[in-house]
Amino acid sequence: MNALAPYYLIFKALHVAFMVTWFAGLFYLPRLFIYHTEASDAVGRQRFMVMENRLFGIMTIGAVLTAVFGVVLLGINHALIVTAWFQVKLALIVGLIVYHYRCYGWIVRLRETDAKADSRWLRWFNEIPVIFLLSIIILAVTKAF
């Protein structure tokens, strides 16, 4: 028996709590990008740069701790890795990491240029985490396949 097994539910709760932190950032950061691109003054744009950097830091901590507790859970329950639903969940997580990295790309782009981005595209970009969240939750709860 794994020595950490008695704490499985605690690790699972921490995994979910930090996932919520990560997703809160993923939901709000693109909204800040929209406000940033629509800001008409230098002071406003500077304020959004500070907010974006701070939020990205917080959500990155959430992402790392989500992954750490996820790996701990996987270490306790090795059988998950061979289930199809879990493999699909891992693929979605890879996509989510790519999205997270793209958010950083937007931070750099908005910091280094004064070019106006298309806020309509950013509004669509803002909806992408919803697809990931719903898909991951449905897989984790139903374990459908």
Domain positions in the chain are 5-142
Closest by Cα among 101, 103, 104, 113 to 45: 113
pLDDT at 34 over 60: yes
Q: Helices marked H in the chain — which ranges?
A: 8-38, 42-76, 84-112, 119-125, 128-142
d(CA 26, CA 132): 11
Backbone angles phi, psi at 143, to 5 degrees: 45, 50
Q: What is the pLDDT of residue 64?
A: 98
pLDDT at 41 over 60: yes
Q: What is the pLDDT of residue 128?
A: 97
pLDDT at 1 over 80: no
pLDDT, tens digit (0-9, with 9 covering 90-100), for 102-145:
999 999 999 887 656 678 889 999 999 999 999 999 999 999 88
Mapping DSSP to helix (H, G, I), strand (E, B) and coil, where does residue 114 land? coil
**What average pLDDT does the structure give for the chain?**
94
Q: What is the pLDDT of residue 113?
A: 78
d(CA 115, CA 65): 34
Q: Which pair of tokens denotes residue 136?
A: 């991951």
d(CA 67, CA 21): 12
User: What average pLDDT does range 12-29 have in this prediction?
Assistant: 98
pLDDT, tens digit (0-9, with 9 covering 90-100), for 68-92:
999 999 999 999 999 999 999 999 9
- Model confidence at 40, in pLDDT bands (50, 70, 90)? confident
